Amino acid sequence: MYEQARWAILLEEIECTEEEMMVFAALQYHIGKVSLTEQIVASCPAMDDLDSALQCLEVKMEGESSADDMLETMTAPELHDYLKIFRPKRLTLKGYKQYWFTFKDTTVSYYKSKEESSKEPIQQMNLKGCEVAPDVSVAGQKFCIRLLIPGPEGMNEVYLRCEHEQQYSRWMAACRLASKGKTLADSSFSTEVQSIQSFLAMQKTTPSNNTAQSDESINTHSLVSPRYQKKYKPKQNVAQLSLTDAIQKFLQIWQALPDFGLSYIVVRFKGCRKDEVLGIANNRLIRIDLSVGDVVKTWRYNTMRQWNVNWDIKQVAIEFDGNVNIAFSCVTADCKIVHEYIGGYIFMSTRSREQSNVLNEELFHKLTGGHEAL
């Protein structure tokens, strides 16, 4: 999996920022250096049963929850702070403007000031189903969150700017959870905050007296993609990580990228005369304008009611909640591939933790095979 992630980064199969590319490069260099002195115990039985051990630990911790913990979980937490907001529009030079923001459940509201937070908000934005991407430069002290919020006429682009790392970590974690339909009361909120803070810490270039790295010939071509060759900067923050921790950190950051797991197929939607791109992720479908690359619409699987394939005319039809219906034909792939992707992801979402090692072959073929299932 590490090699898959490494080449996906080097070949730019998945988008990442310059700061993220530098962290990937630092981790790759450290992994290559440490692997010369350490051995990866890939066949260790404990590693094979890692998922089971983590699941047992999680169940045990949940069982030991106190009444205070349960009461805290039942009380819906909120975030509130002064942030800056910017809505990109054509033919405008207006920048960020500061407001008082509150984050409750999956909704962000903002007011002119803290004193007016008891009144009606200027606007409310429900982030469920939105796209969340970082726009961060630690060196430049820029901590922005890019939001693409579904609307009646497409995706509305909004930028939120935070003042410092701690504020950014909390609000970024809240936005990521809200995009998945989860609230601040979710148990993964603190873990998400810590993960973001850890990633930001790795982007800092820490001065070091260790000159061993400068004495070696570093092949940047094996560390970063060609676009970043001239911008390569060595980082010392990962030097203390063990080999296993470095590989796990590389995979964790790779899987946290906004475009991770996306597959793209050129399609033509019913009633349209031009080709567009359909992005297929593990939890959503994304409609992308082929000419400019902008996200037009996002549909979540949890709002899907049914999907069908007309095998005669090679067309996929999908029905969502709210009487939303879409239909498209595939240009660069067979429609059966789209059918298998959707069915496979939905099948994975139906598997509970207790049944994670058991494969229901009948259900799998029913979801992915259509009339061609054996």
User: Which of the listed residues 210, 232, 256 is the one where a domain comes to its end?
Assistant: 256
Domain residues for the domain of 326 are 262-352+360-368
Choose between 238 and 57: higher pLDDT.
238
User: Does 141 have pLDDT greater than 60?
Assistant: yes
For the whole model, what pTM was predicted? 0.56
Residues 153 and 248 in one domain: no
Residues 81 and 165 in one domain: yes
- Res. 214 pLDDT band, cuts 50 70 90: very low
User: Does 372 have pLDDT greater than 60?
Assistant: no
Residues paired with residue 133 on neighbouring β-strands, in sequence order: 146
- Res. 360 pLDDT band, cuts 50 70 90: confident
User: Does 210 have pLDDT greater than 50?
Assistant: no
User: Does 83 have pLDDT greater than 60?
Assistant: yes
Averaged over 35-52, what is the pLDDT?
54
Give the pLDDT of residue 275.
92
Choose between 225 and 97: higher pLDDT.
97
Residues 13 and 86 in one domain: no
Mean of per-residue pLDDT scores for the chain: 78
Q: Which residue from 288, 285, 313 is spatially nearest to 299, judged by alpha carbons?
A: 285
Angle between helices 18-34 and 243-256 (to 10 degrees): 160
Please list, residue by residue across 228-263, b when 16 or more beta carbons sit within 10 angstroms of its beta carbon and e when fewer do. Answer: beeebeebbbbbebebeebbebbbebbeebbbbebe
Give the pLDDT of residue 175.
92
Contact in structure between 315 and 327 (CB atoms under 8 Å): yes
Give the pLDDT of residue 144.
92
Least confident of 112-116, 190-194, 269-273, 366-370: 366-370
- Position 86 in a domain: yes
Give the pLDDT of residue 225.
74
Residues 145 and 162 in one domain: yes
- Distance, in Å, from the CA atom of 369 to the CA atom of 316, rounded to the nearest integer, reads 14
Question: Count of domains in the chain?
Answer: 3
The percent of residues above 70 in pLDDT, for the chain, comes to 76
Residues paired with residue 228 on neighbouring β-strands, in sequence order: none
Residues 302 and 249 in one domain: no
Greatest Cα-to-Cα distance within the chain, rounded to the nearest angstrom: 68
Contact in structure between 106 and 117 (CB atoms under 8 Å): no
Least confident of 206-210, 212-216, 233-237: 212-216
User: Which of the listed residues 256, 280, 307 is the one where a domain comes to its end?
Assistant: 256
**CATH number of the domain that 346 lies in?**
2.30.29.30
Least confident of 55-64, 77-86, 291-300: 55-64
Least confident of 72-76, 113-117, 244-248, 287-291: 72-76
Give the pLDDT of residue 327.
93
- Res. 109 pLDDT band, cuts 50 70 90: very high
Residues 251 and 268 in one domain: no
Choose between 18 and 268: higher pLDDT.
268
